Amino acid sequence: MKLQQLLAAVCCLAAALILKTKAQENAMLQIPPSLVECYNTSYFMNRDNRLPANMDTLISLIEKVENSYAASSGVQADIRTVSVALLHRFRQDGIKKAAGINVADGVIPYSPTGFQFPKLKILLSRLIPGNANTFPNSSLTRVERCSLHFMLSSTFDTRTRGDENNVCNQLSQYRAQRLPRSLKKEHENNFISASEWLEARSKRGRSSDSVSKYEQLGELDYESDWAYAGPETSQCPVEDGLVRTRWGTISGGTLIAGIAAGVQQQTVQLNTLLTLASQRRARGRSQSQTSNTIDNRWAATLAGELAEVTLVQLPVSNGNPASVGATGGWNDTVLPHWYFLSQRNNLEATDAEIRGGLDGLILAKNVASWRTQAPSLKLSQLLRMYYSTNGVLSSGINACSRQNQFTNVAPSQEMEDQTNAFALILDREMQLRVTLQPSLISQFAGNATASLVTYVPQSLNDVSCMATSNLDLTDAITPMTNLYLFLDTSWQYSTIVDYIAYVIQQLNIHPYASTITMLSAQDGSIIVNTTNYITDVYQQWNATTQATYTQGFNLPNVLRTIQNLTQYLMNEEKTNSSLSGHSLVALIIPNQQTINDGDSSYATTEIQYIQEQIPDLRFIYYGGGSIQRFSSFVRDPTQDLFSLTLGSTPATSAGPVAKRIVQIPRRVINPRCGSTWYTNSWGTDQTAQYVGPGKVNFYRVSSNYFFGAGANRYLTIQSQNGGTYTICTSRTYAWPQQNSTTLSTTNSIDQSCTQISGNSFSYDLSNACEGYYTITQCPDLYLSVQATSNTTSCIQDACQTPDQWRYIMSMVNMGCYSGVSGIAASLLIIVFAILALRLI
Ligand SMILES: *[C@@H]1O[C@H](CO)[C@@H](O)[C@H](O)[C@H]1NC(C)=O
Ligand SMILES: *[C@@H]1O[C@H](CO)[C@@H](O)[C@H](O)[C@H]1NC(C)=O
Ligand SMILES: *[C@@H]1O[C@H](CO)[C@@H](O)[C@H](O)[C@H]1NC(C)=O
Ligand SMILES: *[C@@H]1O[C@H](CO)[C@@H](O)[C@H](O)[C@H]1NC(C)=O
Ligand SMILES: *[C@@H]1O[C@H](CO)[C@@H](O)[C@H](O)[C@H]1NC(C)=O
Ligand SMILES: *[C@@H]1O[C@H](CO)[C@@H](O)[C@H](O)[C@H]1NC(C)=O
Ligand SMILES: *[C@@H]1O[C@H](CO)[C@@H](O)[C@H](O)[C@H]1NC(C)=O
Ligand SMILES: *[C@@H]1O[C@H](CO)[C@@H](O)[C@H](O)[C@H]1NC(C)=O
Ligand SMILES: *[C@@H]1O[C@H](CO)[C@@H](O)[C@H](O)[C@H]1NC(C)=O
Ligand SMILES: *[C@@H]1O[C@H](CO)[C@@H](O)[C@H](O)[C@H]1NC(C)=O
């Protein structure tokens, strides 16, 4: 009976284990079926075909996933669901190409044979349980799915590429090669993947390699069966699984794993894990382990990386100190695709992995308390706050302060204990070249920890918070724009892409924020249709698609198109009763072409008409040749014209363009006017707006909405949830603001500021154009809103972060006045205006 019970229990356990493993596809020894689509074509092996690996891309993709979860289930996807699903769906570490094996039917020459894989296997199957069963796969395109996979999955491509002479020298600025180059292939490290191990063993019966024996063999002919690194290793291998941020490149999978562990924290007895491990592959080691526990937040982050140093590097280091950190660099920082390491040995804990591990640990240890402050915190919001100068909620914790957080979240003793404990588990799951005594593992864990404790403060070369703190007005603005970008496709795609991408990356193209529409400057045809996702631009605009558009620049067509599109927008806003709250910008990117006289005089007339019909539209030219040739087509030639000179860096050339666009105030409209500037109804229209801590929202109300006199005509701002705000207004200065740096230099700014707290603010526009005879003479109303208290309770979908304040902006009894619409304006005023003009 007892035996039967025991057997039953064992069966149950075995069944449970099998079931568990089945659900965790990415922990299996093959590329899982869901990721095959990224490897059964050579397309994604060219990194240029993946989405640029930066934080904005990652946040965009996560937003797509979050919105899709929300749409299908009706409830907001919480941080735990999304972070755990992302890991289980997309992360598989250590995928390497099998050298010398070609694609064949049914053979994909890739498999997770790298040393990073066993750690991931333990994490997915034991420490961060979960699955991706309900993951909304179709919410992402194949390019997006595969780009996520490559951003979240750590591996190295160590094969020689042929560009080393060129590329590797450029990296030398980072750090001199730490190890001598030798023609002979050195053994890379102490890891031998399971399949390789079997192969080597069957061929040579090398079952009990000692270090020195192995090295001897290596001297002889080991090269030939180092099937997974190729005959020659690149001097500067490519690292994958990375995401570039302003504050250093991080390992994406480690970051997300840290967050997932933080929201699903587990502390597991070491012995429990050892038992599980030895059931799977009994190696008959002593089980006399300590009563240590493993904290999944550590295993997923720094302890995991250090355990790899402990097992893979130190046993074969010949007594050299543990080497942690490996610098590297992208060969393009606007569209980061290729990250080259400046060394090819000791890659068990690269700089990016250390940063990702540290960021992951900081987030893991704090996320529980942040979630109590902001219960509906989303993953995209957490990342957006952490990778910003503001930091998460009001904790002041952000990526640029990671080095200061290091000692708080990673006390040396705790780090050493966790590294030691996890290394003991990892040792069971990893096929090393040597067999280690547990006591030696402990010593190596101590050595690895000690190295990291000195490396982080001394050698992690990160941009400091000081260097990125608010320096000018642009940094205080949250961009909200409807951008129409007209491109002369005679520009060669590869020479122009970085400049354009740089501009649009600064514009907050996200759901509930900015939109972009990209069009041909020759005939106005759509290159990228209006979108809130910058990833759509990356996917739909490329060298191939650009070549399908007619080259050239036709200003009349551009004007006709922008007029049509913006009138369509105004009519949509009428339908939605939306005050807009977005600036309206046409960014025109001509090449060398000049404007002939006919087009020029047509354009001059047309622009006058546009300025009356679409008063909030701003034209900006960023082009080749003499940019002054466009000076009669913009409102302010000193501010709206920018030269595009190839060869200058994107930041120098495109930075000022982005700044100019960001500073254009958001429009506030009377939606009742539509594009015809006619309304026969009066009343209140309102739109919710959001302002983050330390940010200022600037608005402009065009005098077209209040030129004539009207009774009870107001713009109001109503505080929500007791928020307190400073509101500044001006009729002359576009950026009225309390305590602005611009203020201190210009003394005579005509502005007035008011504080409101839980109540509302009104600006009377009933007779605001009294004394002006034409609409253009009557100045617009400029207005700014900034919050003066903290909150964590922004729960609307539109909140980009939970620390934004929500307020309601209303337009009450506004009118519609346009120089071209006789019906709209009160007839009397028109007559007066015309009379007045004649008199002047
Ligand atoms: C690659 O895999 C995907 C998904 O499994 C499949 O749709 C596609 O047809 C495959 N392509 C090739 C070339 O086998
Ligand atoms: C998405 O794909 C994963 C991996 O193939 C699968 O486990 C999951 O069930 C899919 N999601 C849905 C909703 O079908
Ligand atoms: C590793 O740690 C041991 C014990 O703490 C110490 O004796 C040894 O010197 C360390 N090795 C190195 C290379 O730092
Ligand atoms: C970056 O390097 C890769 C590999 O050499 C190359 O294919 C790619 O064109 C480079 N990108 C840039 C922008 O130089
Ligand atoms: C662009 O999007 C709009 C609205 O989403 C749609 O009406 C229009 O047909 C689209 N145009 C093209 C060319 O896809
Ligand atoms: C360019 O984009 C199109 C459409 O998105 C895609 O089909 C094509 O493969 C892309 N071409 C390259 C070279 O990336
Ligand atoms: C914009 O152009 C389309 C197609 O030419 C036309 O159908 C539409 O009426 C135009 N919209 C406006 C507001 O003029
Ligand atoms: C109008 O509302 C629809 C549906 O809510 C939305 O898709 C669209 O983007 C809105 N348009 C504008 C201009 O706000
Ligand atoms: C803005 O306020 C800060 C502190 O609140 C103060 O140090 C600074 O001098 C002020 N700047 C201006 C221009 O008033
Ligand atoms: C918000 O909170 C932080 C930290 O709690 C504090 O330093 C800051 O002054 C607060 N800001 C406001 C506007 O109250």
Say if ligand 8 is within 6 A of residue 209 CB. no
pLDDT band for position 99 (cuts 50, 70, 90): confident
Ligand 1 mean position, distance from CA 91 (Å): 19
Q: Are residues 402 and 517 in the same domain?
A: no
Ligand 6 mean position, distance from CA 749 (Å): 51
pLDDT band for position 24 (cuts 50, 70, 90): confident
Phi first, then psi: what are they for 663, rounded to 5°?
Answer: -80, -10
Q: Are 86 and 264 contacting, i.e. CB atoms less than 8 angstroms apart?
A: no
Whether residue 752 is contained in a domain is answered as yes
For residue 223, the model assigns a pLDDT of 25
Q: Which of 393, 394, 793 to mutate to test the pocket of ligand 10 (most atoms within 8 A of CB)?
A: 394
Q: Which ligand is nearest to the CA of 501?
A: 4
**Rounded Cα–Cα distance for residues 40 and 109 (Å):** 9
**Rounded Cα–Cα distance for residues 243 and 250 (Å):** 5
pLDDT band for position 820 (cuts 50, 70, 90): low
Q: Are residues 634 and 716 in the same domain?
A: no
Say if ligand 2 is within 6 A of residue 537 CB. no
**pTM to 2 decimals?**
0.89
Give the β-pairing of 641-643 and 617-623.
Answer: parallel
Say if ligand 7 is within 6 A of residue 525 CB. no
Question: How many other C-beta atoms lie within 10 A of the C-beta of residue 99?
Answer: 13
402: pLDDT strictly greater than 90 = yes
Ligand 4 mean position, distance from CA 330 (Å): 9
For residue 575, the model assigns a pLDDT of 96
For residue 167, the model assigns a pLDDT of 86
Q: Return the residue whose CA atom lies nearest to atom 5 of ligand 4.
A: 163
- The residue out of 639, 662, 685 marking a domain boundary is 662
Whether residue 469 is contained in a domain is answered as no
pLDDT tens column, 533-549: 999 999 999 999 999 99
Whether residue 615 is contained in a domain is answered as yes
* Residues near ligand 6 (Cβ within 6 A): 49, 539-540, 542-545
Q: Which of 413, 420, 437, 447 to mutate to test the pocket of ligand 3 (most atoms within 8 A of CB)?
A: 447
For residue 687, the model assigns a pLDDT of 96
Domain count, the chain: 3
- The residue out of 662, 684, 700 marking a domain boundary is 662
* CATH code of the domain in which 547 resides: 3.40.50.410
pLDDT tens column, 144-203: 999 999 999 999 998 888 888 888 887 754 443 333 333 333 445 666 543 333 333 333
Q: Return the residue whose CA atom lies nearest to atom 8 of ligand 6.
A: 544
Pick from 129-133, 366-370, 532-536, 807-811: least confident? 129-133
Q: Are residues 699 and 603 in the same domain?
A: no
Determine what percent of the chain is predicted with pLDDT higher than 70. Answer: 84
pLDDT band for position 791 (cuts 50, 70, 90): confident
Q: Return the residue whose CA atom lies nearest to atom 8 of ligand 1.
A: 37
Whether residue 34 is contained in a domain is answered as yes
Whether residue 326 is contained in a domain is answered as yes
Say if ligand 4 is within 6 A of residue 269 CB. no
For residue 746, the model assigns a pLDDT of 53
Counting from 1 in the atom list of ligand 8, the atom nearest the Cα of 575 is 1
Q: Which ligand is nearest to the CA of 564?
A: 7
pLDDT band for position 106 (cuts 50, 70, 90): confident
Whether residue 467 is contained in a domain is answered as no
Ligand 6 mean position, distance from CA 539 (Å): 7
Ligand 5 mean position, distance from CA 131 (Å): 36
For residue 739, the model assigns a pLDDT of 65
What single letter denotes the amino acid at residue 229? A
Q: Which of 726, 757, 790 to mutate to test the pocket of ligand 10 (most atoms within 8 A of CB)?
A: 790
Counting from 1 in the atom list of ligand 7, the atom nearest the Cα of 568 is 13
For residue 635, the model assigns a pLDDT of 94
For residue 583, give the nearest of 525, 641, 664 by alpha carbon.
664
For residue 19, what are the domain limits?
Answer: 2-460
206: pLDDT strictly greater than 80 = no
Q: Are residues 218 and 137 in the same domain?
A: yes
* Residues near ligand 1 (Cβ within 6 A): 36-37, 40-41
Sign of CA dihedral 244, 245, 247, 252: negative
pLDDT band for position 2 (cuts 50, 70, 90): low
46 token code pair: 């060219």
Q: Are residues 512 and 365 in the same domain?
A: no
Say if ligand 2 is within 6 A of residue 134 CB. yes
Ligand 5 mean position, distance from CA 529 (Å): 6
Residue 489's H or E segment, with its range, is none
282: pLDDT strictly greater than 50 = no
Question: How many other C-beta atoms lie within 10 A of the C-beta of residue 132?
Answer: 20
Q: Are residues 678 and 656 in the same domain?
A: no
Ligand 10 mean position, distance from CA 321 (Å): 44
Q: Of how many residues is the chain composed?
A: 840
pLDDT band for position 4 (cuts 50, 70, 90): low
Say if ligand 2 is within 6 A of residue 34 CB. yes
Q: Are residues 686 and 587 in the same domain?
A: no
pLDDT tens column, 142-159: 999 999 999 999 999 988
pLDDT band for position 562 (cuts 50, 70, 90): very high
pLDDT band for position 489 (cuts 50, 70, 90): very high
Q: Return the residue whose CA atom lies nearest to atom 9 of ligand 9.
A: 739
CA angle 305, 311, 317 (to 5 degrees): 110
Q: Are residues 655 and 710 in the same domain?
A: no
Q: Are residues 757 and 804 in the same domain?
A: yes
Say if ligand 8 is within 6 A of residue 576 CB. yes
**Rounded Cα–Cα distance for residues 60 and 536 (Å):** 10
- The residue out of 609, 631, 662 marking a domain boundary is 662
Mean pLDDT to the nearest integer, 370-374: 95
220: pLDDT strictly greater than 50 = no
For residue 340, the model assigns a pLDDT of 94
For residue 192, the model assigns a pLDDT of 58
Torsion on CA atoms 518, 522, 523, 529, rounded to nearest 10: -10
Whether residue 806 is contained in a domain is answered as yes
Q: Which ligand is nearest to the CA of 314?
A: 3
Ligand 7 mean position, distance from CA 675 (Å): 12
Ligand 5 mean position, distance from CA 526 (Å): 9
Q: Are residues 486 and 422 in the same domain?
A: no
Q: Are residues 25 and 54 in the same domain?
A: yes
Phi first, then psi: what are they for 743, rounded to 5°?
Answer: -60, -45
Q: Which ligand is nearest to the CA of 545?
A: 6
245 token code pair: 């941020």
Q: Return the residue whose CA atom lies nearest to atom 12 of ligand 9.
A: 739
Q: Are residues 218 and 334 in the same domain?
A: yes
Whether residue 33 is contained in a domain is answered as yes
* CATH code of the domain in which 756 resides: 2.60.120.380
**Rounded Cα–Cα distance for residues 477 and 583 (Å):** 12
Say if ligand 4 is within 6 A of residue 167 CB. yes
675: pLDDT strictly greater than 60 = yes
